[in-house]
Amino acid sequence: MIFYDCSTAPNPRRARMFIAEKGLGIETRDISIAKGEQLSQDFLAVNPRGTIPVLVTDDGIVLAENLGIAAYLEAAFPEPPLMGVTPEEKGQVMMWNAIAEQQGGMPIAEVLRNTNPHMKGRAIPGPLDFEQIPELAERGRARVGFFFDQLEERLRDSPWLAGERFSLADITGFVFVDFARVIRTRIPEGNTATQGWFDRIKARPSAAL
Ligand SMILES: N[C@@H](CCC(=O)N[C@@H](CS)C(=O)NCC(=O)O)C(=O)O
């Protein structure tokens, strides 16, 4: 297998943590977004959508998208389970993963990509160029606040996002909470359940990679 990673970006970090939590060692190639390598002919030949992460299986199947990579690795290497064991857990993992991705990752990206001068004309990842829309950054900020509220409410009742077991949903939530620093946003003071959860994940070896 070959794993296409980018050390500076949040979505590849999610896959990198998942691979580490599975205890797998996979040949890794770093693609520098800063140098524009994701849009090079060589990389577009691997993933025409020009995004990272990508996992190429031993059979040459190309898996872009975190969820595709995670589902494949979970099926091929079931231990330790990271996507739930019982039907209830499996449902909750997918639900909280989607909440973290769509209500955490997306608004943070909306703020960053619509304000950062280096991302002018690159407001959306991928092969097409889109101009920045400042109003989206404003909307994104309000949505990030709501994301932190939702996390705190859930983590006051549950040790992990999907219940009693650490999962893919925690990896996704953790990576985006950490990435919020790029828009100068931290876990709000007083959100002690979220802070405790974050610190427990930060102490895991996979978070240091
Ligand atoms: N939904 C995709 C998102 C992948 C994605 O957007 N990756 C970003 C890095 S965080 C990227 O490839 N950016 C390339 C660019 O900005 O041109 C996934 O979960 O794998």
Distance 11 CA to ligand 1 centre (A): 6
pLDDT attached to residue 94: 98
* Residue 132 near ligand 1, beta carbon < 6 Å: no
Residues 68 and 99 in one domain: no
- Whether residue 12 is contained in a domain is answered as yes
- Over residues 17-26, the pLDDT tens digits come to 999 999 999 9
* Residue 175 near ligand 1, beta carbon < 6 Å: no
In eight-state DSSP terms, residue 101 is I
In eight-state DSSP terms, residue 100 is I
pLDDT attached to residue 74: 98
pLDDT attached to residue 154: 98
10-residue mean pLDDT profile of the chain (209 residues): values are 98 98 98 97 98 98 98 98 98 98 98 97 97 97 97 98 98 98 97 98 97
The preferred substitution site among 51, 94, 116, 175 for testing ligand 1, maximizing ligand atoms within 8 Å of CB, is: 51
pLDDT attached to residue 2: 98
Residues 171 and 190 in one domain: yes
Residue 52 CA: nearest ligand 1 atom is 12
Distance 156 CA to ligand 1 centre (A): 31
Distance 33 CA to ligand 1 centre (A): 10
- Whether residue 82 is contained in a domain is answered as no
- Do 160 and 201 touch, CB atoms closer than 8 A? no
Domain limit, last residue, from 28, 48, 76? 76
Distance 161 CA to ligand 1 centre (A): 23
Residues 201 and 149 in one domain: yes
Residues 62 and 105 in one domain: no
- Whether residue 81 is contained in a domain is answered as no
| Cα distance between residue 48 and residue 2, in whole Å | 16
> Which residues are CB-neighbours of 69 under 8 A, at least 6 positions away?
15, 18, 53, 54, 55, 63
Residues 202 and 147 in one domain: yes
The domain that holds 109 is classified in CATH as 1.20.1050.10
- Over residues 141-166, the pLDDT tens digits come to 999 999 999 999 999 999 999 999 99
Q: Looking at the 3D structure of the chain, how many domains does it have?
A: 2
Domain limit, last residue, from 18, 51, 76? 76
Residues 70 and 160 in one domain: no
Residue ranges making up the domain that contains 32: 2-76
